[in-house]
């Protein structure tokens, strides 16, 4: 018995047309897409004209397991992902212990298969315990299923260590995914360095702490031939550097978060730094930085959207701005908030181009099986309602995290159905 999705409109990812089609899923694959498919002998879901998209892929999430299960688990985080229309997420290794061994790759993959609601692709750490002192066994991590390597949460400070990591990664065709942060420049800042941090008397993190590291790593990627992927880009010069690297033909890619595309430090200014739910790393920056990120996304300098879903406990986020942990949740509303702001309200790009940044591009860049809607493709898909406006309400989250500055916003584009490898993982 197959799963028959009747009466949906399938998005043509090339030309943006919405085509009235039925979609038949058998086993883990899409077996037919046609004007009308006979319903007998299949489980039928009526899509009522809603829009069928390839399942979203998020290359930057924190699932917190093992070690910080109070913040999130593989089960709750992947369920949040499914609710947000995601079918694949790549989880960062800044857990406890850090994901730096083949056994831990196996632990994440098997826990997700047993308890999860989407495909979970673990990152292996670049250095043991993310201490920046000793390289992990990158080959063994890859063989155990690491999607790429990253020390996300911290930057690799030592240039020679990063150079060696890129040499090994290049020889194994493993992407190097960087949290670019020069700790010496970032010191113990808690927000963007500038007029607002000065007014509030809070220690700042300059944009340079990010861009200087990106410059270093682009040069190392040039020398070693590694594929360099830049995480959560937030600064105008960083975007410029990635644009330059691409123009030189280097294998450099980048992601941006919904918050760096839509928010600035002005929200911290307006609330006098009283709410640590506005604290994230890299920090919300200036309007000029935000515009640069937006331009980078629109002209293809930035390849994809990633949420950097980073759940923390409510008590932790109630601490003063200076001492609360960095991070926002994002999986459950990333698509609606960007669809509403970029496509619906401001007409900055068409729907199918936004979807490319949510699905097609991450699949292509990281060579994943996904991001396609076609007969024979993996049945990873999401169905969204582009008409109904609803409020982003943290009380409804499947994630254990409630920490988001987007709470209360009214947005459209909510997922009504998610299918991961033929299995319904979310239904509104």
- The catalytic residues are 308
Residue positions counted in the chain: 428
The answer on whether 201 is annotated among ligand-binding residues is: no
Q: Measure the N-to-C terminal CA separation of the chain; round to a whole number of Å.
A: 23
Nearest residue (CB) to ligand NCD, 258 versus 422: 258
* Site residue total, Zn ion (CB under 5 A): 2
Q: Select from 62, 64, 142, 179 the one that contacts Zn ion (CB under 5 A).
A: 179
Q: Select from 21, 179, 227, 372 the one that contacts ligand NCD (CB under 6 A).
A: 179
Q: Given the structure tokens 């700790």, which residue do they identify? A: 183
Per DSSP, the residues of 305-357 read E---B----HHHHTS-TTTSPP-B--TTTHHHHHIIIIIIIT--S-HHHHHII
Nearest approach in angstroms of CB 110 to ligand NCD is 23
Write b or e for each residue in 321-355: b if 16 or more Cβ atoms lie within 10 A of its Cβ, otherwise e. Answer: bbebbbbbbbbbbbbbbbbbbbbbeeebbebbbbb
Nearest approach in angstroms of CB 181 to ligand NCD is 8
Nearest residue (CB) to Zn ion, 209 versus 351: 209
What is each CA distance from 121 to 98, 288, 305, in whole angstroms?
15, 34, 17
Nearest approach in angstroms of CB 153 to ligand NCD is 4
Answer whether the bond into residue 75 is a cis peptide, omega within 30°: no
Restricted to residues 68-107, the positions that interact with ligand NCD (CB under 6 A) are: 94
Contacts of 224 (CB under 8 A, 6+ apart): 163, 166, 167, 169, 170
281 binds ligand NCD (CB under 6 A): yes
The answer on whether 327 is annotated among ligand-binding residues is: yes
What is each CA distance from 407 to 227, 277, 278, 294, 415, in whole angstroms?
36, 10, 11, 22, 17
Angle (CA) 330 166 95, round 5°: 40
243 binds ligand NCD (CB under 6 A): no
Nearest residue (CB) to Zn ion, 200 versus 310: 310
285 binds Zn ion (CB under 5 A): no
| Interface pattern 303-342 for ligand NCD (x via CB under 6 A) | -----x-x--------------xxx---------------
Q: Select from 100, 130, 152, 182 the one that contacts Zn ion (CB under 5 A).
A: 152
Residues of the binding site for substrate: 62-64, 94, 281, 312, 326-327
* Site residues for ligand NCD per CB under 6 A: 62, 94, 152-153, 179, 280-281, 308, 310, 325-327
* Site residues for Zn ion per CB under 5 A: 152, 179
Residues of the binding site for Zn(2+): 60, 62, 152, 179, 232, 308
């Amino acid at each position: 018995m197959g799963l028959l999705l009747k009466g949906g409109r399938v998005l043509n990812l090339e030309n943006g047309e919405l085509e009235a089609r039925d979609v038949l899923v058998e086993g883990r694959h899409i077996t037919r897409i046609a004007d009308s498919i006979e319903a007998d002998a299949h489980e039928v879901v009526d899509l009522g004209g809603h829009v069928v998209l390839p399942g979203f892929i998020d290359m930057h999430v924190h699932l917190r397991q093992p070690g910080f299960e109070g913040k999130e688990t593989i089960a709750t985080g992947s369920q949040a992902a499914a609710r947000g229309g995601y079918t694949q997420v790549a989880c960062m290794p800044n857990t406890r212990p850090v994901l730096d061994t083949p056994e831990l790759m196996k632990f994440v993959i098997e826990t997700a298969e047993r308890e999860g609601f989407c495909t979970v692709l673990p990152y292996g750490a670049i250095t043991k315990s993310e201490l920046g002192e000793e390289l992990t066994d990158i080959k063994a991590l890859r063989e155990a299923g690491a999607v790429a390597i990253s020390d996300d949460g911290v930057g690799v400070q030592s240039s020679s260590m990063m150079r060696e990591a890129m040499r090994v990664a290049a020889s194994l065709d493993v992407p190097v995914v960087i949290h670019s942060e020069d700790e010496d420049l970032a010191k113990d800042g808690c927000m963007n360095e500038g007029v607002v941090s000065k007014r509030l008397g809070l220690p700042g993190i300059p944009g340079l702490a990010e861009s200087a590291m990106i410059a270093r790593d682009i040069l190392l990627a040039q020398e070693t031939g590694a594929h360099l992927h830049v995480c959560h880009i937030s600064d105008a010069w960083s975007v410029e550097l990635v644009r330059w690297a691409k123009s030189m033909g280097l294998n450099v890619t980048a992601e941006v978060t919904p918050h760096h595309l839509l928010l600035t430090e002005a929200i911290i200014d307006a609330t006098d730094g009283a709410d640590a739910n506005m604290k994230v790393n890299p920090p919300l920056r200036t309007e000029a930085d935000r515009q640069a990120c937006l331009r980078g996304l629109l002209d293809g300098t930035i390849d994809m959207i990633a949420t950097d879903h980073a759940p923390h406990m409510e008590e932790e986020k109630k601490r003063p701005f200076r001492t609360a942990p960095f991070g926002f949740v994002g999986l459950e509303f990333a698509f609606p908030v960007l669809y509403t702001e970029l496509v619906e309200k401001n007409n900055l790009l068409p729907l199918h181009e936004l979807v490319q940044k949510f699905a097609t591009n991450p699949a292509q860049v990281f060579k994943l099986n996904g991001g396609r809607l076609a007969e024979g493709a993996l049945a990873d898909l999401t169905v969204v309602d582009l008409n109904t406006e609803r409020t982003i309400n943290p009380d409804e989250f499947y994630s254990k995290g409630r920490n988001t500055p987007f709470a209360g916003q009214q947005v459209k584009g909510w997922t009504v159905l998610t299918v991961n490898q033929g299995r319904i993982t979310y239904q509104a």
